[in-house]
Amino acid sequence: MFKEYKPIDDKLFSIIDDDGIVKNKKWMPALSDEHLQKAYKDMLFARVADLQIVNYQRQGRIYTYPPNYGQEAISGAAGSIMRDNDWLVPAFREMGAYLAKGATLKELFLYFMGYEDGSMFKNANNFLPMAVPIASQLLHATGIAYEVKLKKKDQIVYTFVGDGGTSEGDFHEAVNFAGSWNVPVIFIVQNNQYGISTPFSVQTASKNIAVKSVAYGIEGIKVDGNDYFAMYAAFENAVNHIKSGLGPVLIEAVTYRKGAHTTSDDPTKYRTKEEEQSWDKKDPLKRLKAFLISKELWSEKEEEKLIVDFKKEVDRQFVEAENYPAYPLDDVFQFMYSEMPEDLKKQKIEHEKFLKWKEVQK
């Protein structure tokens, strides 16, 4: 696959077209009907949740949130290929991968409501919290992959970044270190065309992102990120490549951020309606659904019913998160060090004295 889709040739690896028709039989992954139905449902759930969260934010029930709208196939494919013991080192626009790894929506809600507790991912293994400083997490992925190699474990590290993040030094250091160390990590760049308002054309003179793999001596591929099959096949190929000891892989997933950067952003300031509409026909759910309907594996009716159920489930978890206990003062202090330094203990005690005083004033 890597030989056929050399990044330098700027060829986009895709399997189905905009209408869900298989155009690239050679690389069509062998996936069961159940697999595809589940993958579609997971992507749909992520979309329903995502759109709902934006509503909650508009209602003032949750703080700033970065929508995933339009990018669901990338996380969906990663989510279906990641094993329980594989590592996920995320950025912040991979909800499908978060959920597949074992995070609950409630936890995500807690995080965006302002509780660190939402980063614990109690039911998930090998899953780092969201990293906010752009691209800094990629180095953690490379470091984890070093441990995997040193301890001869059967694990792959999946790590995410956006197109803007590829301009950061840490991106280059992470990919370079991974190549130099030959460690089992897959770098997934979600090229959604914008870093907040800055278009991809401003980030780099490179014709694509996958080509950056060439300089670091690893394999890379530019994939249609709105094509579930192409993403799955690329991941499968990357996993086999890594398991053969051939080194890390950089996957550029070409997609489009249909929503805003975050709920504080207004995309009408920097992109046109025409551009947005041109990507509508490439919508990842629309394409997979067209494929499934053509194989009689799905129907609009089922979808309608499912959306109603999903909305209820999203709301149920949201209300649970809204009823989460108040944030105790102890939690501000207790996770700073393995043992709390005397100085911090004193600061806490002093503040508690103030709180007692305040109580008496009432």
Nearer to other proteins, 70 or 179 (CB): 179
Binding site for other proteins (CB under 8 A): 87, 89, 116-117, 119-121, 128-129, 131-133, 136, 138-148, 150, 169-170, 173-174, 176-177, 180, 331, 334-338, 341-343
Nearer to other proteins, 69 or 333 (CB): 333
Nearer to other proteins, 170 or 227 (CB): 170
Least distance (Å) from other proteins to the CB of residue 190?
20
Q: Which residues contact 90 (CB under 8 A, 6 or more apart)?
A: 97, 98, 127, 128, 130, 131, 137, 159, 160
Question: 83 catalytic, yes or no?
Answer: no
Contacts 24+ apart (CB under 8 A), 337-342: none
Task: Pick the closest to residue 34 from 272, 326, 357, 298 (CA basis).
Answer: 298
Nearer to other proteins, 185 or 285 (CB): 185
Nearer to other proteins, 37 or 136 (CB): 136
Q: Of the listed 63, 69, 270, 324, which one is catalytic?
A: 270
Nearer to other proteins, 268 or 338 (CB): 338
Q: Of the listed 47, 241, 261, 287, which one is catalytic?
A: 261
Question: 93 catalytic, yes or no?
Answer: no
Least distance (Å) from other proteins to the CB of residue 345?
10
Cβ–Cβ under 8 Å, residues 221 and 233: no
Nearer to other proteins, 150 or 319 (CB): 150
SS3 for the chain is CCCCCCHHHCCCECCECCCCCECCHHHCCCCCHHHHHHHHHHHHHHHHHHHHHHHHHHCCCCCCCCCCCCCHHHHHHHHHHCCCCCEEECCCCCHHHHHHHCCCHHHHHHHHHCCHHHHCCCCCCCECCCCCCCCCHHHHHHHHHHHHHHCCCCCCEEEEEECHHHHCHHHHHHHHHHHHHCCCEEEEEEECCEECCEEHHHHCCCCCCCCHHHHCCCEEEEEECCCHHHHHHHHHHHHHHHHCCCCCEEEEEECCCCCCCCCCCCHHHCCCHHHHHHHHCCCHHHHHHHHHHHCCCCCHHHHHHHHHHHHHHHHHHHHHHHCCCCCCCHHHHCCCCCCCCHHHHHHHHHHHHHHHHHHHHC
Q: Of the listed 47, 93, 257, 287, which one is catalytic?
A: 257
Which residues are catalytic, by number? 257, 261, 270
